[in-house]
Amino acid sequence: MMFIDEVRILAISGKGGDGMVHFLREKYKPFGGPDGGDGGRGGDVILVVKPTLNTLAEYQHQHRFRAQDGAGGGSNNKTGRSGENLLLDVPPGTVVYEDESGAVLGDLVEAEDRLVVCKGGRGGRGNARFATSVNQAPRIAERGEPGQERWLRLELKLIADVGIVGVPNAGKSTLLAAVSNARPRTAPYPFTTLEPNLGVVTLDEDTSLVLADIPGLIEGAHQGVGLGHDFLRHIQRTRVLIHLLDGIADDPILDYAQINSELALFDPHLAEKPQVVALNKVDLPEVQARWPAIEAELKRRDAGKYTRPMAVSALAGTNLHQLLYQAAQLLPQAPLPQPEEAVAVYRVESDPRAFQVKKMDKGWQVVGEAIERAAAMTYWEYDQSVRRFQRILETLGVEEALRESGVREGDTVMIGEYELEWRD
């Protein structure tokens, strides 16, 4: 399966079911009264963490997801069936953003974590709900409330105990393949790994690690050079880093300093993560010969802040067990990754009753959350429902605003999807 770590999807919750206009018709009960039932609630769109997933690939080709609408009300005061919620599975470590504002809606980390991203519309009321002492036979009901519609951006940050970082061709994928059942692509040239890989390593009966092989970082990665941002964000979820140096590079110490600089510039917390520093390819005689000088320089630069620098060979298997044990010993002192805090999404028009009147080429348009919802929930075929909508226009101040704007007899007024003709 292809590794996909960022997608955009359109989530649409279910519309509420329509309320019913109905009157009881039974033998010996000629005036049974109104008995139209309410509509059912529309289904929510909910993101759910599925621990077995480690990619967002199932959203690569399908981008539109809609929950079930509520059923309409029935006679004899029967309430319509509520629409089923739509559950969308995501891997652990998925951060959910509102695409328009960029605000964080939630950070889904633990198994079975849930986030309601779109709430279903409420069901419309049937005519039985509008009966009063002075209106015992109401021919009025509500259509169901429209569902919510929202573009979301899902961004995956892999969750692993240990992340393997280093410059391209340092041997990170070879190391992962040597110690786990993962089979990343390897080759004797740079940039063979174009996506992070996960592997599970069992050290003994009580110790196992989840390793993430992070594709090679280059200078400027924190600014997005190469695929820097795509790779660096996965390191944010790891607790300990294995910093693998290429033993045949021109200057491994310079590579070491460069990668640490890129980590710190992208996120200052990355520079504080415990590191196990290891020089790879020690099976080669020229690397063995230069190891003492490199080890001394790494110690001088305080690379041994957490552990002593090591010389390993991912290809030959030299010192790999000791390398992983050093990483495992650092885990208890490494803080757990903190989920990103959700941010409230504030709108310019925070009052749902607010509206705007706009002059159009062929009339007028009224834009506003409350008035558009009221129009969508109106039964236009029933006079009492229309009169109720007119009272809403007056209550919200829409009628007065239209008059002040210059509306005239016969003008067209658009409210939501509905085209109305103005009459004084």
Do 167 and 201 lie in one domain? The reply is yes
Structural domain contains residue 296: yes
Structural domain contains residue 329: yes
Do 177 and 267 lie in one domain? The reply is yes
End-to-end Cα distance, the chain: 64
Do 292 and 395 lie in one domain? The reply is no
Structural domain contains residue 341: no
The two structure tokens encoding residue 401: 């605003």
Do 5 and 43 lie in one domain? The reply is yes
**Alpha-carbon 145 to chain mean position:** 25
Residue 74 carries which DSSP code?
Answer: B
Do 408 and 287 lie in one domain? The reply is no
Do 134 and 166 lie in one domain? The reply is no
Cα dihedral 130, 40, 395, 410, rounded to 10, equals -100
Give the domain-ending residue among 123, 156, 189.
Answer: 156
Do 3 and 148 lie in one domain? The reply is yes
**Residues 6 or more apart from 114 whose CB is under 8 A from it?**
46, 47, 48, 49, 108
Structural domain contains residue 12: yes
Task: Return d(Cα 322, Cα 306) in angstroms, integer.
Answer: 14
What is the rounded average pLDDT of the residues 13-24?
94
Give the residue, 216 or 224, on which the prediction is more confident.
Answer: 216
Structural domain contains residue 348: no
Do 176 and 297 lie in one domain? The reply is yes
CATH number, position 380:
3.30.300.350
Residue 220 carries which DSSP code?
Answer: T
Structural domain contains residue 277: yes
Residue 378's nearest CA partner among 79, 33, 18 is 18
Do 310 and 374 lie in one domain? The reply is no
Beta bridge partners of 98: 152
- Least confident range of 102-111, 299-308, 409-418: 299-308
DSSP string, 348-398: S---TT--EEEEETTEEEEE-HHHHHHHHTB-TTSHHHHHHHHHHHHHHTH
Give the domain-ending residue among 156, 173, 197.
Answer: 156
Structural domain contains residue 202: yes
At 192, the pLDDT band (50, 70, 90 cuts) reads: very low
CATH number, position 70:
2.70.210.12
Residue 16 carries which DSSP code?
Answer: P
The CA–CA distances, whole Å, from 365 to 360, 398, 403 equal 7, 11, 13
CATH number, position 218:
3.40.50.300
**Is residue 58 exposed (0-12), middle (13-18) or buried (19+ Cβ within 10 Å)?**
middle
pLDDT at 175 (0 to 100) = 87
Do 37 and 130 lie in one domain? The reply is yes
Looking at this protein, which amino acid is placed at residue 54?
N
Task: Return d(Cα 170, Cα 164) in angstroms, integer.
Answer: 10
Give the residue, 354 or 43, on which the prediction is more confident.
Answer: 43
Structural domain contains residue 140: yes
Residue 92 carries which DSSP code?
Answer: T
Looking at this protein, which amino acid is placed at residue 301?
R
Give the domain-ending residue among 333, 365, 395.
Answer: 333
Do 209 and 201 meet the contact criterion of CB atoms below 8 Å apart? yes
**Alpha-carbon 168 to chain mean position:** 30
231-273 pLDDT per residue, tens: 566 677 788 999 999 999 999 998 898 888 888 887 778 778 8
pLDDT at 3 (0 to 100) = 57
360-374 pLDDT per residue, tens: 888 999 999 899 999
Do 296 and 328 lie in one domain? The reply is yes
DSSP string, 235-302: HTT-SEEEEEEETTSS-HHHHHHHHHHHHHHH-TTGGGS-EEEEEE-TTSHHHHHHHHHHHHHHHHTT
135-152 pLDDT per residue, tens: 888 999 999 999 999 999
**Could you give the number of structural domains in the chain?**
3
Do 174 and 223 lie in one domain? The reply is yes
> Mean pLDDT score of the chain, rounded to an integer?
84
Position 84 pLDDT exceeds 50? yes
Task: Return d(Cα 98, Cα 305) in angstroms, integer.
Answer: 40
Task: Return d(Cα 263, Cα 28) in angstroms, integer.
Answer: 83
The parent domain of residue 410 ranges over 356-421
Residue 39 carries which DSSP code?
Answer: P
Do 198 and 215 meet the contact criterion of CB atoms below 8 Å apart? no
Residue with tokens 């239209």: 402
Position 218 pLDDT exceeds 60? no
Beta bridge partners of 357: 366
For the chain, give the longest Cα–Cα distance.
Answer: 106
Position 219 pLDDT exceeds 60? no
